[in-house]
Structure 1
Amino acid sequence: MQKFVLYAVMITSFIGALVGSGINVALPSIGQEFMAGAGDLSRVASAYLFGSAIFTLPLGKAADILGRKKLYKIGIIFFSITLIIGGFAQSVEFLFGIRFIQGGLMAMVFGPGMAVLVSVYDKSMRGKILGYSTAAVYVGLTCGPAIGGFICHYIGWRWFFYLTGAIAASGLIFLLQVKEEWYGDRNEKFDIKGSLCYMVTAPLLLYGFSEISQTQYGLYLFFAGILGLIIFVLQERKAQFPMLDVGLFIGNKAFSFSNLAALLHYAATFAISFLISLYLQVVCGLTAPEAGSILLLQFMMMALLSPKAGSLSDRIEPGKVASVGMAINCVCLWMLSCLDDSSSVVLVGGILIGIGIGFALFASPNNNAIMSAINPKYYGTASSLLATMRIIGQAISMAIVTIVLDVNEVRSITGADNDMLLYAMQIIYRIFALVCLFGVFASLARNKQEELDN
């Protein structure tokens, strides 16, 4: 049973990452077909994240009550269907909508996935198994740019959606072999008020932040989201069966700062592949397959080293390993901010290798620290919260890109605005380096990890 759960989680982790990274290489072709600008394309990339951010936490709690495997299976089925539908998009607006729906459905996989995996393996193997799951994510990230680039170049971007939909459906083969079901507490009632409050608050925060530079209402929406967040916390503190037990954060520095570190790390690093793809294709004039091959270097290092980093975190305090990884990425982001139109492609590749090493050292040890800091009853909540931190961080990353591109009036990706595009990228990388620096401090702030007995 253990191996079937592992295979199923690895496949869905792989395809979720592949869909997220592969679309970045296809975006220039999508933009040309639909006459869409850089801002519109960044919103297409963000829509998937927005949908996931809104639904992951509520669905993770629902999985604890209704059954983690059940929701996991439903998510795979409908995610596969919507991927295929995405290939028939006739406008950038339709593509934005279907990507949002895909993100919501993938939340049914993000939330329960890690909880199911941790439930079937002994805690002495937790870091190693999470390392394999993380490696599957990075293999997806590795294959995404290469597969996306070749598919886009030779048979068209629409086939990226058709083929990934078919691969996603294959995850059911292993999941159907698993008969056992896992729950957190079947006797709890679903927190409808808290869930609705969160589902309103999350888009207000994310969309408001991303639209600050576009409309006068962006700032108002953002502050409305902050108010909603305060109301949500107050609601959860008094709820009998809260969607998110805020007590998990009180007196548990390892759990709290590990989640904060995850948020900051993904906010600082997620948009790298999007920006490098634009840089290589628009500024350097490379083809989509060539750009995808260079991006492959980062994700290859992530895939190769994640299991090793996970195993290392079973022997060494996970927070220390994760902090080293975060620091490496901080340095690499600052190096990216120094690139110009005459920079060597070899230099770009070397920096991407460094980012891959840093990412591997951070992700699975940080996941191990989070899952080791709570009682098994809360595995579903912790898994969903970690996924939410990752997704919100990714959405913030793309929002920063959108804001800086808009402020610098980068409207075209055809080469007409190359000087402004390059300047905007340099600003974005410096912002990301600063965010990553704060992440290093957050990662170091957690106390020595003390695992809870199962």
Structure 2
Amino acid sequence: MQAALAGSRRADRRAAITKCGRRSAGAACLSPIPVVSGRRGNQWWVLATLSLGFFLVLLDQTIVSIAIPAIRQGLHASLAAIGWVNNAYLIAIAALVITAGRLGDLRGKGKLFITGVVLFTLASVACGFAQSAGELVGARVVQGVGAALLIPQTMAIIMVTFPPHRRGVALGVWAGVGGLATVAGPTVGGLLVSSLGWRWIFFVNVPFGVAAAVLAVFAIADVGTNERRRLDLPGVLLAGAALVAISYGLLEGPDYAWGTVSSFVSIPLILVVGVTLLAVFLVVQMSRQDRDPLLPFPLFRDRNYALMCVGNVTLSVGLVGMALPMTLYLQSELGFSAVKAGLTMAPGSLVAGVVSPFAGRLADRGGKYLLMSGFALYAAGLGLLAIAAGRTAHWYTLMPGFVVIGLGVGCVMPPMQAIATRNVQPALAGAASGVLNTLQPIGSAVGSAVILAILQSQLAGRADYGGAMRTAVLVPIGVLVLTALLSVAIRSRPSAPEHGPTLISVK
């Protein structure tokens, strides 16, 4: 029986690849169908491994922010230097995620995932032993490179491991793990900093990284194409330079009051250069669609994928629009400690983590109206926070808003990713994941810049933190409501895939 099944798989694989090979390079099938090969061959072991890697990265993102004051004091660093501990990491991710996603398509997603985990873990050790702000920032750049290699492979491997009708559940678990990581980060970070010191917020990554790497070797042998194909180096250079310039301008703009950085170099000039390079990148990609482009344009012919790209940006704006003003309000207006502020906001992430797997199961049946409801709930939760915020507010009066936000996020993440990837060819899974994961930090940077500008304007006008927060959250509320309305255009019925079923071989 097993021999018959293996023979059937081999025949199906040959037929699928032959079918793909007969198409023109500009047609929907741009490269052969990937083969998912795992030494265990168990989909849920694969998902557990990917979720552990995803947890590792998100835990680090949330755990570092709470330790910034202790890091600055321990390394005797300036405020400007310590700001680069986060910014260098974020810029490295934003610049490389789209390249790493496509590289996974061309060289093997499993290899890229394992490389990313190992690099991230080694860089975490270097961060923990850093003796100066410069050393720490350098190690954070390497950490960002590892995260950029790892992040797009998690979603891409899920896409080629789980068929479309079961993908929502897998993405729900994946998103739920992310929600739990954001809960654990501030709490664990606060405990580690207060008990063992700031270096342990990096050392804590090591056991998770080792476990993820070992599991990946056994559960995810490799996921890639059956042919060696060239990476689009002009695209890599143009996209990387454009995203570095745009990310730098948005992240550093507030610190330079959106003015001069040095000599004739200014934040507006950097942003203009970034946007210009991005336009050149798109023109170059248009001319390379028949030669393994970094950004395959056929992805955007799928209306659902294009709409969910917009959704990823607006979700990121919403997350920043809640976290940034609320953190300032809780600590500056209400006098909460960093740990208490993190615990006050934790119910939202906890609810999102619990709801996501169930929302993922519902997403497998369509997800359009679930997604619309999620965006609406998210906006409603921000409205509740704006109403409850005041100089005499307590943590329990703010909790209903955070719970509703968590419910909204839990109902948005799984269906958004499931709808986005439902019709994507397995051979383009890495590129699709890379684009989605590139848009998230860009959305966060845009949202952060806008929210900070509003907060600064309000506080300069002598408004209290509560009043400034209420004004600032109007931006994400408006963006989320518009996205809910835009979701009406989603096609409810998935189109029939041309690439055939995902192929899983067990060695």
Task: Give your verdict on TM over 0.5.
Answer: yes
Distance 1:426 1:27 in 2: 26
Distance 1:138 1:255, change over 3 A: same
Distance 1:30 1:355, change over 3 A: farther
Q: Which runs of no fewer than 5 residues in structure 1 stay unpaired?
A: 411-416
1:151 aligned residue (192, 211, 215): 192
Distance 1:292 1:421 in 2: 18
Distance 2:309 2:495 in 1: 16
Distance 1:334 1:101 in 2: 39
Match of 1:302 in 2: 352
Cα pair 1:65 1:188 within 8 Å, conserved: yes
Cα pair 1:233 1:246 within 8 Å, conserved: no
Cα pair 2:325 2:455 within 8 Å, conserved: no
- Note the 1:220-259 alignment, pairs <5 A: 220-239=269-288, 240-250=291-301, 252-259=302-309
| SS of residue in 2 equivalent to 1:182 | strand
Distance 2:491 2:434 in 1: 23
| SS of residue in 2 equivalent to 1:157 | coil
Letter in 2 for 1:231: V
- Note the 1:209-220 alignment, pairs <5 A: 209-213=250-254, 214=256, 215-216=259-260, 217-220=266-269
Distance 1:303 1:179, change over 3 A: closer
Letter in 2 for 1:243: L
Cα pair 1:56 1:107 within 8 Å, conserved: yes
2:489 counterpart of 1:439 = no
2:399 counterpart of 1:358 = no
Cα pair 2:385 2:402 within 8 Å, conserved: no
Cα offset for 1:68? 0.7
Letter in 1 for 2:106: I
Distance 1:447 1:223 in 2: 36
Cα offset for 1:249? 1.1
Letter in 1 for 2:300: F
1:169 aligned residue (191, 210, 214): 210
Distance 1:50 1:357 in 2: 30
Letter in 1 for 2:269: Y
Distance 1:449 1:204 in 2: 39
1:375 aligned residue (412, 415, 425): 425
Letter in 2 for 1:237: M
Distance 1:313 1:191, change over 3 A: same
CA distances 1:119-174 after superposition (whole Å, capped 9, x unpaired):
22233211111111111111111211211121122222221111123322221121
Distance 2:376 2:296 in 1: 31
2:66 counterpart of 1:9 = no
1:328 aligned residue (366, 372, 377): 377
- Note the 1:52-451 alignment, pairs <5 A: 52-92=93-133, 94-178=135-219, 180-184=221-225, 186-213=227-254, 214=256, 215-216=259-260, 217-239=266-288, 240-250=291-301, 252-270=302-320, 272-315=322-365, 317-338=366-387, 339-404=389-454, 422=466, 424-451=468-495
Instruction: Give the count of matched residue pairs.
Output: 445
Larger Rg: 2
Distance 1:403 1:40 in 2: 22
Distance 1:220 1:185, change over 3 A: farther
| SS of residue in 2 equivalent to 1:242 | coil
Distance 1:452 1:141, change over 3 A: farther
| SS of residue in 2 equivalent to 1:342 | coil
Letter in 2 for 1:394: S
Distance 1:188 1:446, change over 3 A: same
Given the two structures, how large is their TM-score scaled by the length of structure 2? 0.81
CA distances 1:249-278 after superposition (whole Å, capped 9, x unpaired):
13x211101111111111221463454344
Distance 1:274 1:263, change over 3 A: same
Distance 1:290 1:108, change over 3 A: same
Distance 1:277 1:402 in 2: 12
Cα pair 1:128 1:308 within 8 Å, conserved: yes
Match of 1:413 in 2: none
Distance 2:144 2:471 in 1: 29
Distance 1:110 1:343, change over 3 A: same
CA distances 1:46-74 after superposition (whole Å, capped 9, x unpaired):
43322111101111111111111011101
Cα pair 1:194 1:242 within 8 Å, conserved: yes
Cα offset for 1:406? 5.8
Distance 1:346 1:204, change over 3 A: same
Distance 1:141 1:376 in 2: 30
Cα offset for 1:198? 0.3
Quick one: percent identity of the two aligned structures? 22
Which one is further off, 280-289 or 151-160?
Answer: 280-289
Cα pair 1:373 1:450 within 8 Å, conserved: yes
Distance 1:320 1:96, change over 3 A: farther
Which one is further off, 69-78 or 280-289?
Answer: 280-289
Cα pair 1:145 1:295 within 8 Å, conserved: no
Cα pair 2:120 2:147 within 8 Å, conserved: yes
Cα offset for 1:17? 1.2
Letter in 1 for 2:54: S
